[in-house]
Amino acid sequence: MNICGYYPESINEGEGLRASIFLSGCRHRCPGCFSPQTWNFNYGEVFDETRQREIIREMADNPLLDGLTLAGGDPFFSADEAAAFIDLARESIPGLDVWMYTGYTYEQLTSDPDSDEYQLLRRGQVLVDGRFEQGLRDVSLLYRGSSNQRLIRIPESLASGGVVLWERQAVPV
């Protein structure tokens, strides 16, 4: 597995201050994709165990960090390796909040509970699902690029058997 980007602190890929890792590789090839270079699975740097542990140490040492976001490319094309990375990270950061971006829909990812994709999904808290659709592009949307994409609360959705949408919580004053 390769990564094509890593931001130790970002506010663009999910709620709060997040470490954002962009995994290389995507077969969706959405027209208008903001990073078509990430479609190549060999693009970027090798994300070996040494580099994974380095990033996990950085995350664990940052008391301001709210969580981790996996984007891409599409992490679900490297589902088994991405799940293993989350497991490794949670050894040092128990309760790590994980957001994931994918061109798949939630329904596609939950159609086979034995799949690697489902196993990755169940490790997250929020899923941003659906392909980017240029005709539905809307820069005013929070944490997504087109209006067909949804912000889904994964544990609640899996427990209820239906999609439970994530909504920004009001900040107490």
CA atoms of 18 and 125, how far apart (whole Å): 13
* Alpha-carbon gap, residue 20 to 96, rounded angstroms: 13
pLDDT of residue 35: 85
Report the first-to-last Cα separation within the chain, whole angstroms. 43
CB 74 within 8 A of CB 26: yes
pLDDT for position 32 = 84
pLDDT reported for residue 31: 87
In order along its 173 residues, the chain shows pLDDT tens digits of 999 999 999 999 999 999 999 999 999 998 888 888 899 999 999 999 999 999 999 999 999 999 999 999 999 999 999 999 999 999 999 999 999 999 999 999 999 999 999 999 999 999 999 999 999 999 999 999 999 999 999 999 999 999 999 998 876 66
Give how far Cα 58 sits from Cα of 6, 45, 87, 106, 170, Å: 11, 18, 16, 30, 29
Which pLDDT value is given to residue 30?
Answer: 86
128 in Cβ contact with 106 (< 8 Å):
no
Q: Looking at the whole model, is its pTM more than 0.75?
A: yes
**Which pLDDT score is estimated for 173?**
66
Do 101 and 131 touch, CB atoms closer than 8 A? no
CA-CA distance, 158 to 126, in Å (whole number)?
11
